[in-house]
Structure 1
Amino acid sequence: MQLRRTHRRALAAAFTAGATAAVLAAGMASSASAATVFSDDFNDGDASGWSKSGGTWSVVTDTSGVFQQSNAGSELTRQFAGQTSWTDYQVQARVKPLSFGSSSSLVGLSARSASSTKMYRLALLGSGQAELQAVNGSQITSLGSASVGAAAGSWYTLRIETAGSTIRGFVNGTQVGSGTSSLASAGRIGLVTSYASGSFDDVAVDSSGGTTPTTPPSTTPPSTTAPPTTPPPTTPPPTNPPANWPTPTGNYKVDATIDVPVSLDGGLKRYYGIGDGGQGESQDPMFVLAPGATLRNVIIGAPAGDGVHCEGNCTLVNVWWEDVGEDAATFRGGTTYTVDGGGARSASDKVFQHNGGGTLYIRNFRVESSGKLYRACGNCSTSYQRHVVMDNVTATSTKMLAGINTNWGDTARFSRITILNDPNRTTRICVKYKGVPKGSEPTEIGEGADGTNCLYSTSDIIWR
Structure 2
Amino acid sequence: MQTSRARLRRPLLLAAGAGATVAALAAGTVTSAFAATVFSDTFSDGDAAGWSKSGGTWAVADGAFSQSSTASELARQFAGQTSWTDYQVQARVRPTGFGSSSALVGLAARASSSTKMYRLALLGSGRAELQAVNGSQITSLGSATVGAATGTWYTLRIEASGSTIRGYVNGTQIGGGSNSLVGAGRIGLVTAYAAGSFDDVSVDSSVSTPTTPPTSTPPGSATPTPTGTTPPPASWPTPTASVKVDATIPVSGTFDGGMRRYYGIGDGGQSESQDPMFELAAGATLRNVIIGAPAGDGVHCEGDCTLLNVWWEDVGEDAATFRGGTTYTVDGGGARSASDKVFQHNGPGTVHIRNFRVESSGKLYRACGNCSTSYQRHVVMDNVTATGTKVLAGINTNWGDTARFSRITILNDPNRSTRICVKYQGVPKGSEPKEIGAGADGVNCLYSASDITYR
Under a length normalisation based on structure 1, what TM-score does the superposition of the two structures give?
A: 0.51
Partner residue of 1:427 out of 418, 422, 434: 418
The alpha-carbon deviation at position 230 of structure 1 amounts to 3.1
Cα distance in 2 between the residues matched to 1:238 and 1:382: 37
Aligned to 1:276: 267
Aligned mates of 1:424, 1:239 — CA distance in 2: 25
2:236 is aligned, of 242, 245, 256, to: 245
Cross-structure match for 2:392: 401
Q: Distance in 1 between matches of 2:286 and 2:338?
A: 20
8 Å Cα contact 1:278/1:326 also seen in 2: yes
Aligned counterpart, 1:227: 221
Corresponding residue for 1:161?
Answer: none
1:335 counterpart residue number:
326
> Which amino acid letter does the alignment assign opposite residue 452 of structure 1?
V
Q: Secondary structure at the match of 2:308?
A: strand
Please say if residues 335 and 357 of structure 1, whose CA atoms lie closer than 8 Å, have aligned partners that are also in contact.
yes
Equivalent AA in structure 1 for residue 365 of structure 2? Y
Contact 1:435–1:443 (8 Å) recurs in 2: yes
1:167-316 → structure 2 map (5 Å cutoff): 225-231=219-225, 237=228, 239-316=230-307
Q: 1:284 to 1:381 in 2, by over 3 A?
A: same
Q: Distance in 2 between matches of 1:309 and 1:238?
A: 29
User: Residue 398 of structure 2: SS of its match in structure 1?
Assistant: helix
In structure 1, C-alpha distance between the alignment counterparts of 2:332 and 2:362, rounded to whole Å: 20
Give the secondary-structure state (helix, strand or coil) at the position aligned to 2:450: helix
Q: Which letter does structure 1 place at the counterpart of 2:372?
A: S
Query: AA paired with 1:314?
Result: C
Distance, in Å, in 2 between the alignment partners of 1:365 and 1:441 is 29
- Structure-to-structure mapping, 1:15-414, within 5 angstroms: 225-231=219-225, 237=228, 239-414=230-405
Q: Corresponding residue for 2:437?
A: 446
Do the aligned partners of 2:224 and 2:381 also contact (CA within 8 Å) in 1?
no
Instruction: Give the residue type in structure 1 aligned to 2:375.
Output: Y
Alpha-carbon contact 1:277-1:325 (below 8 Å) kept? yes
User: Could you say what secondary structure the match of 1:338 adopts?
Assistant: strand
Query: How far apart are 1:238 and its partner, in Å?
Result: 5.5
Helix, strand or coil for the counterpart of 1:347? Answer: strand
- How far apart are residue 439 of structure 1 and its match? 1.1
Deviations 1:69-110 (A, max 9, x none): xxxxxx99xxxxxxxxxxxxxxxxxxxxxxxxxxxxxxxxxx
Q: CA deviation digits over 1:420-463, x for unaligned, max 9? A: 00100100100000001111111000000000000000010001
Cα shift at 1:239: 4.6
- In structure 2, the gaps of 5 or more residues are 1-16, 19-150, 152-217
Identity among equivalent positions (%) equals 82
Amino acid at match of 1:227: S
1:339–1:238 Cα change, 3 Å: farther
Structure 1 residue runs of 4 or more that deviate by more than 3 Å after TM superposition? 235-239
The letter of the residue matching 2:222 is: P
Which residue matches 1:79?
Answer: none
CA distance in 2, matches of 1:325, 1:417: 25
RMSD: 1.8
Tell me if 1:457 matches 2:451: no
Once residues 377 and 456 of structure 1 are traced to their aligned partners in structure 2, the CA distance between those partners, rounded to angstroms, is 21
Alignment-derived partner of residue 33 in structure 2: none
Deviations 1:127-173 (A, max 9, x none): xxxxxxxxxxxxxxxxxxxxxxxxxxxxxxxxxxxxxxxxxxxxxxx
The code of the aligned residue for 2:221 comes to P
Q: Secondary structure at the match of 2:282?
A: coil
Q: 2:406 aligns with which of 411, 415, 429?
A: 415
* Separation in structure 1 between the aligned mates of residue 229 and residue 362 of structure 2, nearest angstrom: 25
Would you say the 8 A contact 1:238–1:363 is kept in 2?
A: no
Q: Secondary structure of the residue that 1:349 maps to in structure 2?
A: strand
Alignment gaps of 5+ in structure 1: 1-74, 77-184, 186-223
Offset at 1:236?
5.3
Which has the greater radius of gyration? 1
Per-residue CA shift, 1:268-313, capped at 9, x if unaligned?
A: 0000000001112200100000000000000000000000000000
User: What amino acid sits opposite 1:372 in the alignment?
Assistant: K
Q: Report the CA distance between 1:332 and its aligned residue.
A: 1.3
Amino acid at match of 1:387: H
> C-alpha displacement at 1:385, in angstroms?
0.2
CA deviation after TM superposition for structure 1 residue 228, in Å: 1.2
Residues 237 and 422 of structure 1: is their aligned pair in 2 closer, same or farther, counting only changes over 3 Å? Answer: closer
